[in-house]
Amino acid sequence: MSENERKMPVHVAMIMDGNGRWAKERGMIRLQGHNAGMEALREIVRHSANIGVKYLTVYAFSTENWKRPEEEVSGIFKLLVRYVKSEIDELNRSNVRVQIIGDISRLPEESAKAAGYAVETTKDNTGLVFSIAINYGGRAEIARAARLLAKDVRAGRIAPEDIDEAAVASKLYTADMPDPDLLIRTGGEHRLSNYLTWQTAYSEVYVTDVYWPDFTPEEYDKAVDWYTGRDRRYGGLK
């Protein structure tokens, strides 16, 4: 390993984009793309634990996604319920701790319940921390942190002068997590889409044209290899 090569990423964040285009190319409806996306996610969670990633944070639903047709929105929330039902046992067995980041107060009751159940059931696990961002927006998260700090000031718990970067970070959903080392975006767009706005200040960003449902563990390895600077030749020559 050369001096320039980096260690494995501790925290990997992912923007799971391209489900709709994947479906369209196959003459399917968008929800079928999200469904295939859920299958892909399953493997990516497994693979994260296998390769020693400690934190995986995925963007399942943004504060902007409410603008989509009602049918698609409710379909994604139903997928969350299905995901929890089908995966919770394996997640638990694999020592994965599930977290939800975002404002789940607006979610349909059944989905909020499923999310709460997943968090509660896995809360004592000590392996991979798997955070699902739902009804999440980076700016909304920072505004919420400001609100919480303002309340602390009003209650006399802290002084305005105490508000530094660490104080803000301590009020984010990710307070107990290191910042992402690597952000992966599938589907080819080069933007951050209001995702982990505070936390990605120094993250390395990897964009692939591969649509999320086609993002296999092999594709994941490519992103990690890019991050670590490793030159795996897969049996060939340089």
The phi, psi pair for 167, rounded to 5°, reads -65, -40
* Residues 6 or more apart in contact with residue 155 via CB below 8 angstroms: none
Whether 125 sits among the annotated catalytic residues: the reply is no
How many of the chain's residues bind ligand FPP (CB under 6 A)? 19
> Is residue 60 within the footprint of ligand FPP (CB under 6 A)?
yes
Q: Are 179 and 199 in contact, with CB atoms under 8 Å apart?
A: yes
Q: Is the dihedral of CA 207, 212, 215, 217 positive or negative?
A: positive
The phi, psi pair for 155, rounded to 5°, reads -80, 0
* Catalytic residue selected from 4, 17, 152, 181: 17
Residue from 12, 13, 41, 44 touching ligand FPP (CB under 6 A): that is 41
CB of 130 to ligand FPP, least distance (A): 10
> Is residue 132 within the footprint of ligand FPP (CB under 6 A)?
yes
> Is residue 118 within the footprint of ligand FPP (CB under 6 A)?
no
Of the candidates 87, 62, 58, 75, the residue with the CA atom closest to the CA atom of residue 23? 75
> Is residue 83 within the footprint of ligand FPP (CB under 6 A)?
yes
Of the candidates 9, 11, 17, the residue with the CA atom closest to the CA atom of residue 215? 17
Measured at the CA of 47, the angle between CA 201 and CA 185, to 5 degrees, comes to 35
Whether 152 sits among the annotated catalytic residues: the reply is no
Give the range of 4-12, 33-41, 141-149, 160-168 binding ligand FPP by CB under 6 A.
33-41
- State both tokens at 198: 């505070």
Per-residue contact track with ligand FPP, 179 to 218, x per CB under 6 A? --------x------------------------x------
Residue from 45, 80, 145, 184 touching ligand FPP (CB under 6 A): that is 80
Residues in touch with ligand FPP (CB under 6 A): 16-21, 34, 37-38, 41, 60, 65, 76, 79-80, 83, 132, 187, 212
Could you give the residue numbers annotated as active site? Answer: 17, 65
